[in-house]
Amino acid sequence: MFIKSLSITSGAKVIREIEFHKGLNLIIDESEHQVTGNSVGKTTVLKLVDFCLGANPKHIYVDHETKKQEYKLVKDYLIENKILITLVLTADLDKGTDDIVIERNFLARKELIRKINGEELTEEEFDLKLSNILFPEHLASKPTFRQIISHNIRYKDESINNTLKTLDTYTSDAEYETLYLFLFGCEFTKGNSKQEILTKIKQEDTYKNRLEKNQTKTAYETALALINNDIEELNKRKSSFNLNENFEKDLDTLNEIRYSINKLSSTIGKLNIRKDLIKETEEELKSNRSDIDLRQLEIIYNQATSKITTIQKSFSDLVAFHNTMIEEKVKFITKELPTLVKSISERNNSLKRLLAEEQKLTTAISKSDSFDELEKVISELTEKYRKKGEYENIIQQLSEVESNIKDFNKQLNEIDSELFSDSFEQVVKTQLNKFNKYFAAISNELYGEQYAVKYDIIINKKGQRLYKFSSFNANMSSGKKQGEISCFDLAYTLFADEENIPCLHFLLNDKKELMDDKQLVKISEFVNRNNIQFVASILKDKLPEEINKEEYFVVKLSQNDKLFRIKE
């Protein structure tokens, strides 16, 4: 599969249309007069191809070194202008076979575009669809589509500086084992199962370590045995207490009676307060009753009436009226008093009965031994049972984890018995020998050195066996890493074609100015005659004269004409 074109559009407006061809495809800068050719978008072209093949859109506008700093100008431009990236792949650039059209944008939710040949797909469906199209015979979930193509797209530090370790730094040796067994055509259908089992073992080990953070399983078992002894002793002490047979029932009844006593005492208290208030009011009213010397006041009153003829009532009438009013008020205020006194009396009688019952039950409950001592024993028993439950639960979980690990290791051993059998190891040797034939030949042609890939059967920290692949220089001289990487990618393409293993026929490379001029020219000659598409970003002033030609340039960028043509 080759890259036919990459376009950047905003609605009907075409911002860039990049056409690719076989052989060498260079992305260069046209900066002059000592103006830097960096930060014009050369690497971004490679990132956009990767984006269309499922990479995270953040790679386009986030600094790949800090992983946090965003280029806000670029991000806002991509979103506000609804930039659409379209990648067209083809099986044959000469015959014009059916193209694969991939479209993606940087918007979200309803405005998001993620299409293959016009079909809108979810993120999960997208990678699966690409895998089915480009690697139709690969049905397992591991290695993933993104892992398979990782060596074809090299712009991140991991892939630029490592020949085989092209994935992120957290990738396990088991994942690399599955990847390279697949790439080298070593038929092993249980590679995915092995990774799943190893992942489960890792999870169980992590869980086990968390459970044993404070104590080991044997320590918990020992502590549990001691707790069981303590419980047995406490139960003996509890059973030796001389308590009545109806202890629990009496205890509940006692609590209910105490509740009733508290409630009744509160009611009696409130009634007494009301009674006292009535008594105080009665006394206050009675104190206002008139008991003055009527004879003396009558003389004064008669003197007044002799001079004021309009007074109709006698003084004694007035005094009698005043006292009558006070008597009526007293009667009204004290009308409730008999009922109140009766209610208080009845409640006091009830309180006496409850207090008698409380005394009786208290005596029955604490018939001989101290009730406080019993409560202390029960409290200790409760705490011991709590710890017993906690420890039993942890021990049970640890037993389950150990059983799971044992089962997973058994399954792993069954897979390994096939994977590390003499017959399968012979397959690995045979396939590597086929690949190394190309690897050594190409590296010898380009560098005069013979590179090769070897494998070792290692045992990791968990005691698990793995095939570990690594590259080395067969001539034991100081080969250049950049050259080794390019030789590996070129060799793999030829090897995969011979073995009928589906592969991408394009190789994306960043920072090729780090490579020696002579080797870059030789690579150009090699890819031009071997049906390989080699796409590289490079500073123009670093180009050797032999390939500094228009026929190799697919896009030329500069400080005045950057990739997205954003108007700042």
The residue among 304, 334, 368 that closes a domain is 368
pLDDT in tens, 230-254: 988 888 887 776 555 566 677 778 7
Q: Would you state the pLDDT for residue 368?
A: 47
Q: Are residues 166 and 251 in the same domain?
A: no
Q: Are residues 1 and 128 in the same domain?
A: yes
Q: Provide φ and ψ at 365, rounded to 5°.
A: -70, -45
CB 514 within 8 A of CB 537: no
**Residue written as tokens 């079909």?**
119
Largest CA distance in the chain: 156
d(CA 510, CA 159): 10
Which residues, listed in sequence order, are joined to residue 130 by a DSSP beta bridge? none
Over residues 529-547, mean pLDDT = 89
Q: Are residues 39 and 159 in the same domain?
A: yes
CB atoms within 10 A of CB 540: 19
Q: Would you state the pLDDT for residue 55?
A: 94
Residues with Cβ within 8 Å of residue 478, at least 6 apart in sequence: none
Q: Are residues 38 and 159 in the same domain?
A: yes
Q: Are residues 22 and 156 in the same domain?
A: yes
Indicate the pLDDT class of residue 34, thresholds 50, 70 and 90: very low
Distances (CA, A) of 102 to 84, 224, 404: 10, 63, 44
Q: Would you state the pLDDT for residue 490?
A: 95
Sign of CA dihedral 7, 157, 526, 39: positive
Q: Are residues 293 and 164 in the same domain?
A: no
Q: Would you state the pLDDT for residue 508?
A: 95
H or E stretch at 531: none
Indicate the pLDDT class of residue 498, thresholds 50, 70 and 90: very high
The residue among 321, 352, 368 that closes a domain is 368
Which DSSP state fits 26? E
d(CA 506, CA 201): 38
Distances (CA, A) of 347 to 256, 262, 295, 340, 352: 17, 12, 51, 11, 9
d(CA 403, CA 401): 5
Mean pLDDT (the chain, rounded)? 84
The two three-digit tokens of residue 363, written as one number: 């005596």
**Amino acid letter, 385:** Y
CB 415 within 8 A of CB 190: yes
Sheet (strand 2-10) strand order? 13-19, 2-10, 83-90, 99-105, 114-116, 119-120
**Angle between helix 315-334 and helix 247-286 axes, rounded to 10 deg:** 170
Q: Provide φ and ψ at 517, rounded to 5°.
A: -55, -45
Q: Strand 451-459 and strand 465-473: pairing?
A: antiparallel
d(CA 423, CA 413): 16
pLDDT in tens, 361-383: 787 766 545 566 777 888 888 88
Which among 52, 75, 54, 57 is positioned nearest to 5, based on CA atoms?
52
In degrees, to the nearest 5, what angle opens at C-alpha 327 toward C-alphas 321 and 332?
130
- The answer to whether residue 300 sits within a structural domain is yes
pLDDT in tens, 207-229: 888 888 888 889 989 989 999 99
- The answer to whether residue 52 sits within a structural domain is yes
Q: Are residues 16 and 121 in the same domain?
A: yes
Over residues 130-144, mean pLDDT = 87
The two three-digit tokens of residue 278, written as one number: 């009535």
Q: Strand 83-90 and strand 23-29: pairing?
A: unpaired
Q: Would you state the pLDDT for residue 332?
A: 62
**Domain harbouring 46, CATH code:** 3.40.50
Q: Are residues 167 and 263 in the same domain?
A: no
Bond before 136 cis per omega within 30 degrees: no
| Lowest-confidence pick of 164-178, 268-282, 432-446 | 268-282
Q: Are residues 155 and 258 in the same domain?
A: no
Query: Measured in whole angstroms, how far is the alpha carbon of residue 214 from the centre of its chain?
Result: 25
Helices (H), 53-190: 58-61, 72-80, 123-134, 145-148, 157-161, 173-183
Indicate the pLDDT class of residue 347, thresholds 50, 70 and 90: confident
**Amino acid letter, 373:** E
- The answer to whether residue 320 sits within a structural domain is yes
- The answer to whether residue 164 sits within a structural domain is yes
Which DSSP state fits 549? S
The residue among 341, 368, 395 that closes a domain is 368
d(CA 386, CA 383): 5
Distances (CA, A) of 27 to 33, 47, 60, 529, 560: 20, 13, 17, 20, 16
Which residues, listed in sequence order, are joined to residue 465 by a DSSP beta bridge? 459
The radius of gyration computed from the CA coordinates of the chain, to the nearest angstrom, equals 48
Higher pLDDT, 339 or 90: 90
Q: Would you state the pLDDT for residue 480?
A: 72
Domain count, the chain: 2
d(CA 145, CA 133): 11
Domain boundaries, position 287:
247-368
Q: Provide φ and ψ at 534, rounded to 5°.
A: -110, 105
Q: Are residues 17 and 164 in the same domain?
A: yes
Q: Would you state the pLDDT for residue 180?
A: 93
- The answer to whether residue 32 sits within a structural domain is yes
Q: Would you state the pLDDT for residue 377?
A: 82
- The answer to whether residue 559 sits within a structural domain is yes
- The answer to whether residue 230 sits within a structural domain is no
Which among 240, 257, 237, 243 is positioned nearest to 363, based on CA atoms?
243
Q: What percent of the chain shows pLDDT beyond 70?
A: 84
- The answer to whether residue 211 sits within a structural domain is no
